[in-house]
């Protein structure tokens, strides 16, 4: 039955799409008000009907200490839960316990008759060695012997002390040191007193004062010991206090006054606290100023001391403006320095995705770089600076899971390596330090995520596509061999509602060569003889790519719901976003107003050429945060194509928004590009219909960013809708904002006047 539903859905879509491609005379969909009211009604019903209709999209494996057995649970129809025990060595799975016997045992100990329905267990722990389970039921805890189902009350569930394999922390580039620090040999204490550096013997005696020029405004601090206890690294710090941004909470209960709130908030161009590096020699009480530039971007860096020779350490420095990255080695004996790595670029180095791992045994560093045009891994000899490229090709390393220095192996994820596949799909690999013996642990087509057993002998591979159900498999780590399929998603009940799955679609971008990828959501039961307006859900923030790649991704839910009102809803990753080539990403450099619009417009036009039911003469877009900036940008810079936009909490002027995000893409110092690309500066260009949404309590993007746009639009006499939300933070407007957004698009793209929700009971 399930297979028949999938086949029926596929052929229905295939035949209808074939018909649409031939039907060049489709007429624009122009519903009446009664039709729209019915669509609202049916959309609400469908939203409710599709809830809890797809199962087995993920599992959470609870591994036993032996690393061979694990259990997990599935939630099935009507919230029925099943518990599964899997044996990786045998490649088998079975029920974790006999439910009738467990119910009987619980009934006896609680003195209550249990319902015939599924057993409602709040939480559970399994012990394979004792062959028992401990569970929480009806606010009490019980331990059950699975051999004979004898049962006893216990105080609580045992804690899981297992240490699961953990990703390397790619973000721990900066340290937050204590000002008081005991030396590794426990003989000395280094501390700050009256803003200066003192070191004192733990055994007693007078403290040694190393500095005298520390002040409240410019103290010493951030002390760190060398592993051999011979040196202390510290900094002469010039403190900078971030200026505040303000907002008013207008509608607090039990008061007739608004409340002024403020947060320290660094904007582009604002100064940073600076750190001037010094060395304090314990033996000769010498102070050495390190021969290196003042650290004027980010905090005091993490120090990596050379194993076996604590005279040397390295630290990382990203220059403000994100165009230079260095690994600098310091000779602690004299304060002299040299660059182990010194990478420069004409555009930007994506600092947040820099990966570095220091191999202590071999004095090497595994580092990521995009210098060959793609994000790859390199091995650097930290003693002589010699470099070897580990991964290479026209594909992208996405993350590093772990590094085994003894086996000289790297475990990582990448995308774009599998030909004939969506280049954003993530696969997982293992490779040697020399770039050989690369193993694809997840060869099946789809977007993959994996989790390892405690001993990393096995891994669970979960993969899917937007229109292909999730498969969950158990594999061996040594050779990637599949042991068994654990679960497969079942979407038959979802498809039976009439809802279709998103369709991946790609078309050529502005260069005529590069494929631009996105997804399409259609209304259920739409008329093949009609042309439906297009709404783009846009977020062109350069920090990532955003089109969902997994089956039943939660981010497609609103798109599919909005489509039911009579729209084709799409999402696209244009040039300027991440996870493709460096050239693809560089489009955003000092150019955030571009937002990949040229690619997006070509993509939608290609979609309309393929499917006659797509009306590319009526296109709207909506987004939040950077997406809010993009939504308004579409109306300002491409009014010939985009006719209506909803911009929520937009960072409309990159000078008003947060420093760390905007300088990464727009550069430093703040130059004319910031002003020229501002939605505020360009507000006079507005054509089409606009709804601005802003939360008055937004701590992410200052509300004034949106208010400045509104102010400029008013000054130049533009007509627009404005929805400020009392007490709301950084948001798309929440349930109320989403209702208003739907009404807005119905009015401006379908031509039906906005409903009066005060009178239309259905739309409350």
Is 447 a domain residue? no
Q: How far apart are CA 264 and CA 245, in angstroms?
A: 6
Q: Is the domain of 15 the same as that of 100?
A: no
Q: Is the domain of 609 the same as that of 671?
A: yes
Is 441 a domain residue? no
Under 8 Å between Cβ of 703 and 620: no
Structural element, H or E, at residue 534? strand 530-537
Q: Is the domain of 326 the same as that of 236?
A: yes
In tens, the pLDDT along 142-176 reads 999 999 999 999 999 887 777 766 555 444 555 55
Characterize 317-327 residue by residue with b for buried, 16 or more Cβ atoms within 10 angstroms of its Cβ, and e for exposed. bbbeebbebbb
Q: What are the angstrom distances between the C-alpha of 366 and each of 3, 353, 390, 401, 433?
A: 47, 14, 9, 13, 9
Q: Is the domain of 180 the same as that of 37?
A: no
Q: Is the domain of 183 the same as that of 289?
A: yes
- Which candidate, 748, 726, 752, places its Cα nearest to that of 737? 726
User: Which residues have C-beta within 8 Å of that of residue 25, sequence separation ≥ 6?
Assistant: none
Q: Is the domain of 132 the same as that of 281?
A: no
Which of 317, 342, 367 is at the close of a domain?
Answer: 342
Q: How far apart are CA 729 and CA 85, in angstroms?
A: 44
* 112, burial (CB in 10 Å: exposed 0-12, middle 13-18, buried 19+): exposed
Is 377 a domain residue? no
Tokens of 126: 């399994």
Q: Is the domain of 598 the same as that of 747?
A: yes
Q: Is the domain of 76 the same as that of 211?
A: no
Q: Is the domain of 185 the same as that of 117?
A: no
- pLDDT at residue 631, rounded to an integer: 98
Q: What is the CATH number of the domain that holds 677?
A: 3.40.50.1820
Q: Is the domain of 6 the same as that of 90?
A: no
Q: Is the domain of 89 the same as that of 116?
A: yes
Q: Where are the alpha helices (DSSP H) in 23-145?
A: 33-49, 99-110
Residue 138, classed as helix, strand or coil, is coil
Is 222 a domain residue? yes
- Which candidate, 520, 551, 443, 409, places its Cα nearest to that of 57? 551
In tens, the pLDDT along 604-654 reads 999 999 999 999 999 999 999 999 999 999 999 999 999 999 999 999 999
Expressed as residue numbers, the domain containing 26 is 2-53+493-753
Which of 154, 186, 213 is at the close of a domain?
Answer: 154
* Domains held by the chain: number: 3
Q: What is the CATH number of the domain that holds 327?
A: 2.130.10.10
Whose tokens are 């990753």? That residue is 573
* Beta pairing partners, 28: 531
Q: How far apart are CA 259 and CA 262, in angstroms?
A: 10
Please, what is the average pLDDT of the chain?
92
In tens, the pLDDT along 39-86 reads 999 999 999 888 889 999 999 999 998 899 999 999 888 888 899 999
Q: What sign does the CA torsion over 97, 98, 102, 105 have?
A: negative
- pLDDT at residue 123, rounded to an integer: 85
Q: How far apart are CA 551 and CA 548, in angstroms?
A: 8
State the pTM of this model.
Answer: 0.93
Is 460 a domain residue? no
Q: Is the domain of 48 the same as that of 136?
A: no
- pLDDT at residue 484, rounded to an integer: 98
Residue 408, classed as helix, strand or coil, is coil
In tens, the pLDDT along 360-399 reads 999 999 999 999 999 999 999 999 999 999 999 999 999 9
Give phi and psi for 95, each to the nearest 5: -65, 140
Is 10 a domain residue? yes
Is 433 a domain residue? no
Give phi and psi for 394, each to the nearest 5: -85, 65
- Percent of the chain clearing pLDDT 90 (strictly above): 85
- pLDDT at residue 138, rounded to an integer: 85
Residue 635, classed as helix, strand or coil, is helix
Q: How far apart are CA 709 and CA 701, in angstroms?
A: 13
Q: Residue 26 — pLDDT band, cuts 50, 70, 90?
A: confident
- Which candidate, 112, 120, 114, places its Cα nearest to that of 79? 120
Is 421 a domain residue? no
Average pLDDT over residues 5-20: 46
Long-range CB pairs of 375-381, under 8 A, 24+ apart, other chains included: 375/582, 377/410, 377/412, 379/433, 380/327, 380/340, 380/341
Question: How many Cα atoms within 13 Å fall on the side-chain side of residue 240?
Answer: 15
Please indicate whether residue 760 or residue 78 has the higher confidence score (pLDDT).
Answer: 78
Which of 154, 188, 207 is at the close of a domain?
Answer: 154
């Amino acid at each position: 039955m399930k297979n028949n539903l999938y086949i029926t859905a596929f052929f229905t879509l295939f035949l209808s799409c074939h018909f649409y491609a031939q039907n060049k005379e489709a007429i624009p969909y122009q519903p009446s008000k009664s039709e729209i009211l019915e669509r609202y009604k049916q959309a609400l019903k469908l939203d409710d009907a599709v809830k809890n209709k797809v199962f087995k999209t993920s599992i959470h494996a609870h591994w036993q200490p032996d690393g061979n057995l694990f259990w997990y649970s599935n939630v099935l129809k009507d919230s029925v839960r099943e518990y599964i025990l899997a044996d990786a060595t045998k490649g088998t799975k079975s029920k974790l316990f006999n439910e009738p016997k467990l119910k009987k045992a619980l009934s006896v100990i609680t003195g209550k008759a249990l319902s015939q329905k599924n057993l409602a267990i709040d939480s559970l722990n399994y012990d394979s060695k004792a062959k028992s389970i401990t569970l929480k039921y009806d606010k009490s805890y019980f331990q059950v012997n699975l051999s004979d189902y004898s049962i006893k009350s216990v105080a609580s569930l045992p804690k899981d002390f297992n240490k699961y394999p953990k990703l390397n922390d790619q973000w721990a580039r900066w340290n937050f040191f204590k000002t008081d620090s005991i030396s590794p040999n426990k003989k000395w204490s280094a501390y700050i007193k009256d803003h200066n550096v003192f070191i004192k013997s733990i055994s007693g005696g007078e403290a040694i004062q190393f500095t005298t020029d520390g002040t409240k405004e410019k103290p010493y601090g951030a002390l760190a010991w060398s592993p051999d206890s011979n040196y202390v690294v510290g900094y002469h710090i010039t403190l900078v206090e971030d200026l505040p941004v303000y907002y008013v909470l207008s509608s607090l209960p039990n008061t007739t006054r608004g409340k002024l709130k403020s947060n320290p908030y660094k904007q582009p161009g604002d100064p940073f606290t600076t750190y001037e590096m010094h060395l304090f020699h314990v033996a000769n009480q010498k102070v050495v100023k390190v021969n290196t530039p003042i650290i004027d971007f980010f905090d005091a860096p993490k120090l990596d001391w050379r194993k076996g020779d604590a005279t040397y350490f390295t630290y990382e420095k990203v220059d403000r403006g994100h165009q230079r990255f260095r690994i600098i080695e310091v000779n602690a004996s004299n304060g002299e320095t040299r660059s182990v790595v010194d990478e420069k670029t004409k555009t930007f180095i994506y600092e947040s995705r820099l990966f570095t791992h220091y191999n202590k045994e071999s004095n090497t560093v595994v580092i990521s770089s995009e210098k060959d045009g793609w994000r790859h891994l390199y091995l650097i000899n930290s003693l002589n600076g010699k470099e070897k490229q580990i991964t290479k090709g026209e594909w992208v390393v996405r993350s590093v899971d772990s590094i085994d220095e003894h086996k000289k192996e790297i475990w990582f994820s990448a995308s774009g390596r599998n030909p004939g596949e969506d280049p954003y799909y993530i696969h997982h690999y293992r490779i040697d330090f020399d770039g050989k013996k690369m193993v694809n642990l997840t060869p099946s087509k789809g977007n993959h995520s994996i989790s390892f057993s405690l001993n990393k002998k096995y891994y669970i591979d979960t993969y899917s596509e937007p229109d292909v159900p999730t498969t969950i498999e158990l594999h061996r780590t040594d050779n990637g061999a599949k042991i068994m399929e654990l679960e497969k998603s079942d979407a038959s009940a979802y498809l039976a509602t009439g809802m279709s799955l998103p369709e991946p679609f790609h078309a050529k971008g502005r260069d005529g060569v590069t494929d631009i990828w996105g997804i399409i959501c259609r209304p259920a039961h739409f008329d093949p003889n009609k042309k439906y307006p297009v709404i783009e859900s846009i977020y062109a923030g350069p920090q990532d790519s955003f089109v969902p790649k997994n089956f039943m991704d939660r981010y497609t839910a609103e798109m599919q719901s909005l489509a039911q009102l009579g729209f084709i809803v799409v999402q696209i990753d244009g040039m300027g976003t991440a996870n493709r080539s460096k050239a693809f990403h560089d489009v955003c450099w000092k150019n955030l107003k571009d937002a990949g619009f040229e690619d997006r417009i070509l993509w939608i036009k290609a979609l309309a050429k393929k499917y006659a039911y797509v009306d590319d003469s009526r296109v709207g877009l909506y987004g939040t945060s950077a997406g809010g900036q993009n939504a308004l940008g579409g109306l300002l810079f491409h009014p010939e194509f985009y006719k209506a936009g909803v911009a929520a909490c937009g960072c409309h002027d990159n000078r008003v928004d947060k420093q760390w995000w905007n300088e990464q893409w727009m550069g430093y110092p703040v130059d004319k590009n910031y002003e020229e690309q501002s939605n505020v500066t360009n507000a006079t260009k507005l054509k089409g219909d606009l709804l601005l949404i802003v939360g008055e309590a937004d701590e992410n993007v200052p509300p004034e960013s949106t208010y400045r746009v509104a102010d400029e639009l008013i000054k130049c006499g533009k007509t627009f809708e404005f929805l400020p939300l009392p007490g709301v933070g950084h948001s798309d407007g929440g349930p109320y904002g989403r209702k208003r957004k739907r009404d807005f698009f119905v009015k401006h793209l379908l031509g039906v006047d906005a409903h009066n929700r005060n009178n239309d009971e259905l739309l409350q």
